[in-house]
Chain A
Amino acid sequence: MPELAYKDESFATTLIESRRDPTDASLNELIPAGEPWMGVVCRGQTFRIVDVEGNQAVDTLFFNAANSEERYSAPDTVRSQGRLYLTTGTQLLSNDGNVMFTITADTCGRHDTLGGACSAESNTVRYALDKRHMHSCRDNFLLALARSGSALTKRDLPSNINFFMNVPVTPAGKLTFADGVSAAGRYVEMRAEMDVIVLISNCPQLNNPCNAYNPTPVRVMLWGPD
């Protein structure tokens, strides 16, 4: 499939557009702000996540649909590409070293896999003791897994991907949460290399700029298999 490439001067990475037609998508679903989503993407299918209104973190985990002990591995992914941030061309690897998805288009340019998911408990540490009641990504993950009837539990929540989230690490090793590099309508698209269970939390965090202090809906779309 031909792709359009252009250089975003504000950001030192090449943004890759997709020519896929939204009207051809077999799935086109809006995930409301702060809600979980779980689904299966089959080998050869292309999965797109759209940051509908901009600056929305999408906390995401992958499991091999045939053997869920094989799951997304942040360390394997980062180490194998020798780079911390995810974008077009990144192979999203499992703990067994297999490619689960390949990112084939990205109009945002940088996605995080260090920052993890927010939780009620970490909110008490990071912000204030009285933030425990606020909704969080881990609560989304736990509820989605409990409702799904799958065997997956809290044990199955390793380091995740935060699509559209900007967590720069400085050469001195300082970790910062920067304003998003994403914007309304930007998207990331990936091709499944195996049958994958996708678990998403559309992040409800209100205490830092990862959602521009205003969580918004995101869209998931599916094409193929080609």
Chain B
Amino acid sequence: MSAAIWEEHLHEGAHWSGVLRRGVKLRLTDLEGGANVAALFYHYEEKLERYNMADTLKAQHTAFLTKGNVCYSDMGRILCSITEDTCGWHDTFCGVSNAAMVDARFGKTRFQEQRNDYYKNGYDSLLNELGKYGLGKRDLVSNVNFFSKVSTDDAGDLRFHVNHSKEGSYVELRFEMNTLVVLSTCQHPLDPSLDYQPRPVRISAFASAPVAADDLCRTKCPENTRGFRNTEMLYA
């Protein structure tokens, strides 16, 4: 692959947002293993259109995301496609940690004593970034948790898989729409670790070739073929 257009290092517990244009790929790399990246996606020109967990799962008959899957908006369009994935399973339904959870689990911290090492939580982190675009609690919907695996048994009981993501594992998102991306590297809310230990992640942007007729994500299922058709109508 050619050199990255840009790269950023996301510190452990950091929050980040930015616009990824149609035709750009974003690679997320777990630098140490055990990372979690909570992610939300919004159509940049019309932020009422946003990632929709249920539509994403129903269209692809899956409860998790991996290579070949796409992230649908609530308008039947594809915000981004997962074109590479060395991790194999990304959680879609567990949401993010919040202040009460982090205080109860790891102890209360404050900037005054800890400076920038105070403990972050996923909910406040996402709200922080959303606020920069005039968005808030109403816009904070079910998110993706990249690098985290939570499976269920027949009764529906959840199981968090410790050490699921290895050092150096990565997932690549190809943006099919101009997308506001909001990220938090806080720990997964079901991570049983007794220590506050979020992990750092590198994000790298690359130029992407136009999506071919036989593209893996487009041909994964007939639903995705129709999703790409809907998306291409927007840019015709």
Contacts and interface: CB of A to CB of B under 8 A. Distances in A.
B188 to A, nearest CB: 10
Interface residues on B, range: 35 or more
Interface in A164-188: 168-169, 171-177
16 contacts: A79-B94, A79-B189, A83-B158, A85-B155, A97-B98, A114-B93, A119-B74, A121-B74, A122-B76, A124-B226, A125-B76, A125-B226, A171-B151, A171-B154, A173-B151, A174-B62
Interface residues of A, number: 46
Contacts of A117: 54
B156 A169 contact: yes
A149 interface: no
A28 interface: no
B229 to A, nearest CB: 7
Question: Considering residues A12, A84, A115, A117, which has the most beta carbons from chain B within 10 angstroms of its beta carbon?
Answer: A84
Interface in A65-105: 69-70, 73-76, 78-79, 82-85, 95, 97
B229 A129 contact: yes
Interface stretch (B29-37, B107-115, B134-142, B179-187): B134-142
Contacts of B194: none
Given A82-B157, A114-B54, A158-B142, A125 B62 contact: no
Given A74-B142, A75-B95, A116 B154 contact: no
A78 B48 CA distance: 25
B116 interface: no
A193 interface: no
B132 interface: no
Contacts of B152: 84, 169, 171
B52 A12 contact: no
Interface of B: 48, 52-55, 57-59, 61-64, 72, 74-77, 89, 93-96, 98, 100, 123, 136-143, 151-158, 189-190, 223, 226-227, 229-230
Contact of B153 (A76, A114, A156, A171): A171
B157 A69 contact: no
Interface in A110-133: 110, 114-117, 119, 121-126, 128-129
B137 to A, nearest CB: 5
Contacts of A171: 151-154
A176 B58 CA distance: 8
B137 A69 contact: yes
A121 B154 contact: no
A187 B85 CA distance: 43
Given A12-B154, A78-B94, A97-B98, A125 B55 contact: yes
A173 B62 contact: yes
A158 B141 contact: yes
A169 B136 contact: no
A39 B84 CA distance: 46
A175 B153 contact: no
A74 B53 CA distance: 11
A69 B74 CA distance: 20
